[in-house]
Amino acid sequence: MRVRIETSKLENFKIGLDEALSRTAYGVPVSSPVEVIVESETDAFNFVRRSSAKDLVLDTEYKEWVWDVRPKHSGTYRINVRIVSTIRLDGIEVPFDAFADGKPVHVNWDLKYFLTSAAESKSPEWFSALVVGIWMLIWMGIAGLVRRGWKRLSRPTDRSGSRADP
């Protein structure tokens, strides 16, 4: 998911954006630095930030905020975007929502997609612990099999060449 902000009309602003999916707002008052917050009403998504939370928006270039969005459940859920600027009142900086929008999104949750996407990104701590735990179990199983095989091979043999049972 991407959010772009420009303060003046730029030629390259729409390059790489799917206009069928894009939302546009004009005349949004922003002051630097700008913070963009993405959330869902029902905690239906995992949002992994791929850019800094706050950034300066200049007249000569647009700024872009990027997230990987992963559904936690199947269904239709709303994703909300808030653009937060700061104003100065009586010498005190006060944050305010310069822009807020939401869009319902229909998603299907898929275990294979969830596991592969969690593994390739900044995965949650539980996922990392799960992977380490599974690897430890696999290596313990291999070590047990090797130890068992080693014991069988190292048993003494009797005169006939067969291994004696202890």
On average, the pLDDT of the chain sits at 79
Asked if residue 71 lies in contact with residue 108, where contact means CB atoms within 8 angstroms, the answer is yes
Q: pTM for this structure? A: 0.59
Spatial strand order in the sheet of 92-107: 54-55, 34-40, 75-89, 92-107
**Residue 27, by phi and psi: left (phi above 0), alpha (psi -120 to 50) or beta?**
left
Closest CA to 78 of 118, 51, 38: 38
Is 8 a residue whose pLDDT tops 90? no
Q: What is the pLDDT of residues 36-61, one digit of tens each?
A: 889 987 888 888 888 888 887 877 88
Give the tokens for residue 88.
Answer: 């100065």
11: pLDDT strictly greater than 60: yes
* Distance separating alpha carbons of residues 165 and 135, to the nearest angstrom: 34
41: which 2 tokens? 């009403």
Question: Could you give the CA distance from residue 70 to residue 108 in angstroms, rounded to a whole number?
Answer: 10
pLDDT of residue 85 exceeding 60, the answer is yes
* Helix, strand, or coil (residue 105): strand
C-beta of residue 77 within 8 angstroms of C-beta of residue 70:
no
pLDDT for the residue numbered 123: 53
Return the higher-pLDDT residue of 165 and 131. 131
Encoded tokens for 72: 């936690």
Each residue's pLDDT tens digit, 53-82:
888 787 788 888 888 888 888 889 999 998
